[in-house]
Structure formats: C-alpha cells, structure tokens
Amino acid sequence: MMDWVTHRGESKMYALSGLAGIGKTTVAYTIATEADKRGLLGASFFFSRDEADRRSAKKFFTTIAYHLCRFNEEFAQAIAGMLVTKDGYSATTGSPQEQLETLILDPLRAIDSSNTPQTLIVVDALDECDDEDAPSVLTGLWRIVQTLPSFKVILTTRPQPLVDNDFSTQGSHKIFHLQDIEEKIVNEDLRLYLQHSFSCEQVRTQLRSRTMEWCASGAQIESLIQASGKLFIMASMAVRYILDRHWTNPASRINTLLDAFAQGHTPFENLVDFYTIILRSAIPADCRDASLINRYQAIVGTILFTHVPLSIYTLARLIGIEVEQIFVVLRQLQSAILVGKDDIPVICHKSFADYITDSTRCMDDNMRIDPKVCHMWITTCCFKIMNQELKYNILRLAKEGLTKEQLQERILQHVRYACVYWGNHLGVANVEDADLLKELAEFIYHHMMHWFEVLSLIEKLDMAHRAIRVALKRLTLKPPSSKLLSDAQRFISKFYETIERSALHTYYSALAFTPADSPLYRLYIKHASHDVCDIKGVPEKWDPLIAHLDHGEYVNNIRFSLDSTMFVSFGEGRGTLKVWDAGTGTPISTIKGSLGGRFAIANDFATIASYKDDTIILYNMNGSEQGVTFTAEAMIHQVAISSENSRVAAGSNDGTLYLWDTGNGKLVGSFDDYQSDSADSHLAFSATGARLAYRSINGVVKLRNGSDGGTIADLNWERGSEEVQLVHVAFSRDGSRIGTLSKSGQLKLWSCQNGKLVGIAKNGLRGHRNLAISADGSLLATGFENIFVYLWDIQGIKTSSPSSNDEASSQVTALALSQDCSQVACGFRDGAIELRETGSSAKQRTAAHWALWGDRKWVEALRFSSDGRQFASCLDDGTIKLWKPDKGKGLPIDASDASEVRVLALSRDCSQLACGFGDGTVELWETSPTKRRIASHHGHLDPVMDVGFRPDGEVFASGSYHGTIKLWNSGDGS
C-alpha cells in the first residue's frame, strides 16, 4: 500500500473494507504513521459513533483543511487567504459541501500541481459516520482527488453497499476486502503480534513486575490464533485480558480462555463467547446480588449511551455512584472498556456495544443492557441533577462579568450534560416510570426558566425546543403540566434571539413580556420581579404568529414533514429550496439548485431531488448531498421518488423513462414510451412504492413494477379512437387501485396488482371539473360541467345514480367527500350546494349558498368535518359558510373588510379553519364547539397563495406571492 501511496498512477482512492475487528484501524494507523515519517501525510480523520463531533460530517472538511495548513506552508497561505474573506469565514459553520468548496477546493486548485508534494489523506471508520452524511463525505473525497492531482485518499470501512457500489463502478478507485486475505497470511501476522505481546520482556513491562518470568508457549499462541478466527480484535482483546495488571496471573487467565475454546468454540463465535468470559468478571453466573447487578448496568449502560465521552468523575456525579465503585467495575472489564489518561472510559470496539444490547446474542438478563431502561435511568438522573443544581443567576453574574474559566467552574460538566441531552435520552426511553415522571414534574414547575438560562450560557439554546417537543410527544401529561410545556415551547420560540444574546434576559425581558394569562407567566413571573421597571400593557394571550420567515424569493410550494418537525419552501423553477424547523422557524438547510431547477420530495422527508436539464442530484434534509447523481440523455421533464426512497423515476423530453436505484446509483431500466409533450405526464409512485404509473406515448397509462420497472399493464383510458385529454391519474391510499379520468368524462378503475379493469363509468360526460378521492380510497367522485356528479364505489364496482341541479346552466365547481364516504357535497357555479348520501336509498338535499352581498357566486371549495356532521364552503367572492347537513342551514363566516378568499384549509379534525385573502389577510376560525373568528391579521403585504395545517393541528403556515412564509399558532386560538 505504501507503494501505491508513492506511485503517481491513475488510481486516486483506496478503500480497505473488512468485518468488525479484523484490523482496519490498525492498518490505517500503520499507513498514516509511515506516510507521516515520509512527509506524505496531509490529513487524517477517524469517525466514531461515541463522539458527537466525529459521527457526522459537520467538522470533517474543516479538520482536513486545518491539517493541510499544518502540512504545507503554501496550502496554509492559500487557505488563510480564503478565511479572511466573508465567504471563507461563513463557510466554517456552513454545510459540508460549502466547507469543502470554500476551504479546500477553491484555494488549492489555484496552486501549480507540478510543484505540490504528493499528499495523502487517511480516513478511518467511514461506517461509523451517520448514514445521511457518509455519501457526502465519499463524494467530497472523490472531488478532492479529481480536482487536486497530487492528492490520494485511503479510507477504511465495514462492508457497506455505498462504498462497494461506488468503488466497483469507478475505474480509478481501488477496494480491498481484508476478509479475503488468505488465512495463512493472516495467521502469520497474528503470530508475530502474539509472540511479541507474550514475550517475557513485554509481560514484565505490562504487568510492571521485574520478577515475572512467564511467557506464552508456542502451543498456547497457536490455540489463540485459531480462536481469533482472522479477527485482529480477538487477539488484541486476548492480550489485554491475559495481561491484566489487576490480576497479575497471566498463566491462569490464558488457561481460562483456552479452556473455553477447547469446549467446542472453534473459533469464538462472533466474539460472543469471548465477551461472555470478560463480563463474568463483573457479573458471575446466576448472580442474585441485586445491588451488584444494578451497579454494573448503571455504569456500563451510561458509558454505552451517553452522547459525548464523560470522565469517570463526571459519570459519578451524573449517575450518583461513587468514583471508586466505578473504578472497581471498569478494572474488571478493562479488556472491553479502556480508561485513558484523561480518565474517560471508552468502549474498545463497537462489537462489544452490539453484543451487550442484543437479546438474541447476550442471553443473560443480568449482563444484557436494555437500551430503553438505561435511557430511562439516565433521563431520570438528568432531571434530578437539574432539580438540585439549577437556580436563578446560577453564575452569580455581576457588573464585572465572568471569565470562561469561571463559567466552567460554576457550571460543571454533569450539569451541562443533563441540560443538553435529557431530551435525547427521553426520546428513546421507557417513559412508564414513576420516578421519571416525578422528577419531570419538579423540573416543569420549578426550573424551566433556570434551564433556559443555562442553555444560553453554554450556547446550546437550540436544544430547548427539541427537548420540549420530545416531552410533549412521548409523555401523556395532563394539565397544567402539558399546558406549561406548551407555553414553554411558545416562550422559547418567541424570545429565542433575546435569550440567546443574554441569559438573564430570560427573566428581565422575555418573561416580563410573556402573556399575562398564560400558566407559564403566572407560575414564573416572580423570577422577573427585580425592580428593573414596571411594565404595562402586557398581552393577555400568545400572539398567533410564531415566526416571520424570509425565503428570499417567490414561493408556491410549502410542505410539512409527517412528524410535523420540519417544513420546506420553494418556488417552482426558482432553484432554491429551504428546510425549516417548524417549531422555532429557524432554517435547517438551504439547497441551491440551478436557476430554473425543480424539486421532488419523498413523503418521509428523507430525500430531496433537485433536477435541471439532464441531471438529478439527491440531497438529505440537512442540505448534504447523498453522493448519488443521475444523468439522462435529454432534458428531464418530471421526477418522482418512491416512498421508501429506494427508486427515482424520471421522464425526459426525448420520451425516455428512467428508473434508478438510489442505493447504488445504478440504472434499473430505461423505457422509450414516456409522453413528454404535456405539462403533466402524471408520473407517480403508489404509496408503497410497489407501482409506478405515467402517461405513455401510445395513448395509455403505463403501469410498471416500482422496483424493477417490469410492465404490469397498459391502462387504456381513452374511449375509442377519439383524441381526449387525460386529466387525472390517482392511486388509492393503500396502493391497491389506480383511477384514470379523461376530459371527455371517462372514469376507469384498475387493479394495481395485475392492471385488470375493475370498472368503468361510461356516461358521455364532457367538460370535467373535479375528481375527489375518499380517505380510504374506496370511493371516487367526479364532477362535470353538465351538472352531473357521479360516485364510484371501488369495492362494489358500481355507479350510483347521478345527482343533478335543477338549473341546466349550472356547472359543478367543487366536490367534497365525507370521511366515512357516506355523503358527497357538490358546489355549483350559481352558488347552490347539493348534499347527497352515497347509499342506495340516498335522499337528495339542497341548500342555497347566499353571498353576504346578495349575489349568487361561484362555489370555490368545500370541506367536510371528520365526523361528517358539518362542512365548510367558500365562494369566489370570499364568503365562507359552515353547514350542518342534517339541518341544511349554513352559518355565515363574516369576512369583514378583507378582500376575496384565495385559499382555504381545515385542520385534520376540522375544528379550525384557516383562510388566506388576496390582500394578505390571514384569518383563523373555530368551527366547533362554537363558530367564531379566533384571529384576523394582515399578515402579508401581497396575496396569500397557500395555507396549510401541520398534521397535529397546532401550527399552520401561510405563504405569500413574493415568498414570505409565516408560521401561526392555532393551539390556544389567540
């Protein structure tokens, strides 16, 4: 490998792939050390899931840039020159791609490559990098060696498709699988290592005994080689186990190992038997000492699951166990858990954590660590610490201020950890625990303001909203606890910038201006009484506006994630998409495509596709590239992503449909039957991703297997040879049916399984206006200009009798189906509304929708409540009414002085209605139990183009014509 490093060949990247414990890190370390001796090591980095800064790409490229500065003076001058610029300074905290481009590629590409030294970058344990960041790291390294000819990269990883597929498709990449080395070669390496480690000199050194004369025999070394089974970690751990200085009896220890090996383990199976032997030192077989078991599980579990490495002394304060007791357990387990000079215990290998938390491998309940129980324990400890330590003005700040050293002394590490990470632990903990709930209640009622203060001081205030959101989601709390947490969520969203700038303004400013009628204010206002000033006119209720966001350009698309934690905004064809935190309104990431570029988003918000011309690039929600780029042979017309993100489909302008595998970036298939001459080719995956549909050039809707692209059926949606326009293609929510609707009025229903025609509605109806699909996909409704509405029962394969309005001049302009599919409402051009039951004995009822100004207007929109007992209607002049179908009467919603209603949205339970107006007004109405306007705000300077509720109904968003997005609170109606 050193020959490869020094040889200026075409190959630029070399991957060492191997199973856990086979010695990848040892090889990487050896190569890096040798390269450093020869003056070739430009930079190095190792990923680790145990350290927050090392399990993501957040600081990867900045670290590489720093090492390159130390490696070469010319590199340092170029990078330093970039850092003094505005772009360079901002890039240090930017996305990984921005860091790579600004801090490495831009400054170094200008240097004459003929004069630059051969430069090696070594990256260890790529498999321990977060899944969403690993592709961007791999892509970034490839860009470095592509752009900078004198650079080479060696990286190590466990076997994973990302690396295997990428390296197998790149001729200039090399990959070597360590497990493929011949056994005799591996055994010889292990033999040299064990002979050296168990020589008399090394034994005396490790055991710190000048009189020790023991050394391993040749037979014992051969047995250990066989037991290791090509895994270097086995040999390494055996050495640590045998040469345990706390036992100082290597002969006895090696016999214990070899006795287990002789009992039929050939070799130790996946480290299970070896780890069992180690753990028996701490937990004997059939142990019934509860205190011993609890101590072991608390100590080892906390080391396993803390989000950052903590010293033994910090651990002791965090979990309330004496330092000496922790040392006792760690001395018994030092073969698996190492304690360095800084007294920070570190798991020696990830396989140990995998084993000890897996119930199928670690069969002893006393030894096994249950992650949910352990996280519950840590969460409870965090609350106890905060309840004991947090207080007003914890730093005793005075006019003279405080140094960083004093801050460290007064906010100790265990307090910092508890404040920052309790939400992370709670998110995966077993929450059915009385002690946890008790400590949480104490925290809510006495220390939330103190917690905000500390987070501000340690510059971790961004963790507050996430933690509160987890608590509200995971815990079933009753008022007033739930209300206090909800208020705290509003509080930190409203006053985030104020508290971030000055911790004590949590009390002096933020709390003082909190709505006087909120439980949070009433409980904590005593902390704001410090004679600063007498504040008058404090609002009684929360302002509904959570955040005022500036997208920066035209926006016509807003989408919330399914868990309501994020939303995206973008303008079709504008080339910029922004991802926002839905709780605080702060930007998470910005994805900048090319001007005129478009986007497609997966339903689970895991993947975003940016496409323009002939190229598609996949991004994670944090803005990092996934490392997969797809290229078509012509301009791309439309893109769809399957719900499981395993496939990307794209139709191009030359009539080709491409289907790619997002896992390996390979083309699954291409098909030359895509119709690209219309604005919408109806390209879509079914909800499960099992089927893919699009309009074909031969006049049919093509139904394909969503995985391999195989043809399922050609859905002939046209009637005869007449040219008609396909206006709608829809999958049922369960993916079992697909419906096609033409402008001539043909509705056809097909089976997604085999593409067979389930039913057809032939009524010669022209002038299609609408298609509505019921929530469970069992019923379709279609409306046409000749005043008929048809209901289609998918399961019964039948059409109900058409409903009709008495006036032949009317046209159907709006449709809505009740949640249980028992009723359909249709609105007409003349303002009339018909309500019809869908059963065979349906009785028609009609209600006229009168405008407030005395004219009959076009019905724009209809929405049913979830229970079907009421629905909302909106006219094109802005008039809104709420209806009770059983009475046929509408309750008008007075739009007051606002202009025409542009958009309408109902919360999921239909208890609230949001309206957007042409003059920028946003209104929120309560529909039950009373019907009243909750709030009306002139929220935008231009027309409101879209409104939408978050799935949980607590927040809704409004977007205006010129790109402004606002988040509004709908929880308390203020």
CA distance 312 to 315: 5
Reduce the DSSP state of residue 904 to 3 states and report it: strand
By residue count, the chain amounts to 974
How many angstroms separate the CA atoms of 927 and 933, rounded?
Answer: 9
**b/e map 437-464, b = 16+ CB within 10 Å:** bebbeebbeebbbbbbbbbbbbeebebb
Q: What is the pLDDT of residue 618?
A: 86
Nearest Cα to Cα of residue 411 among 329, 475, 499, 503 = 503
Given the candidates 3.30.70.1290, 3.10.129.10, 2.130.10.10, 3.30.479.10, the CATH classification of the domain at 597-762 is: 2.130.10.10
Convert 850-867 to b/e letters by CB count within 10 Å (16 or more is b). bbbeeeebbbbbbbbbbe
Neighbour tally for 789: CB within 10 Å: 24
CA distances 569 to 91, 580, 599, 600, 866, Å, are: 23, 8, 10, 12, 28
250 in Cβ contact with 209 (< 8 Å): no
Q: Is domain 2-180 classified as CATH 3.40.50.300?
A: yes
Q: Which amino acid is at 268?
A: F
Q: Given this model, what pLDDT does residue 265 score?
A: 47
Which pTM was predicted? 0.58
Residue spans of alpha helices (H) in 705-785: none
Q: What is the mean pLDDT of each run of 10 residues along the chain (974 residues)?
A: 80 84 85 93 89 85 94 92 84 83 90 83 91 84 90 88 65 75 83 91 85 88 82 80 81 82 53 74 84 92 92 95 92 81 81 83 88 95 96 78 67 94 94 91 95 93 89 86 91 87 88 89 80 69 74 80 79 80 76 75 82 87 78 90 83 92 85 79 83 86 91 77 62 78 74 84 52 58 55 49 42 68 71 65 35 46 61 66 56 52 76 85 80 85 87 88 90 61
pLDDT for 843:
37
Q: Alpha-carbon distance 827 to 861, whole Å?
A: 8
* pLDDT given at position 851: 29
Q: How many angstroms from the chain centroid is the CA of residue 596?
A: 27
Q: 911 to each of 42, 499, 560, 870, 878, how far by Cα in Å?
A: 62, 34, 19, 10, 20
- Tokens linked to 172: 């200039």
In terms of CATH architecture, what is 268-369? Orthogonal Bundle (1.10)
- Kindly report the backbone phi and psi dihedral angles of residue 923, in degrees, each rounded to the nearest multiple of 5, phi listed first: -125, 145
Q: What is the pLDDT of residue 436?
A: 93
Residue 496, token pair as written in the block: 């985030």
Q: Round to whole Å and give the CA distance between 334 and 237.
A: 9
Give the angle subtended at the CA of 440 by the CAs of 435 and 443, to the nearest 5°. Answer: 130
| Integer Cα distance of 740 and 295 in angstroms | 64
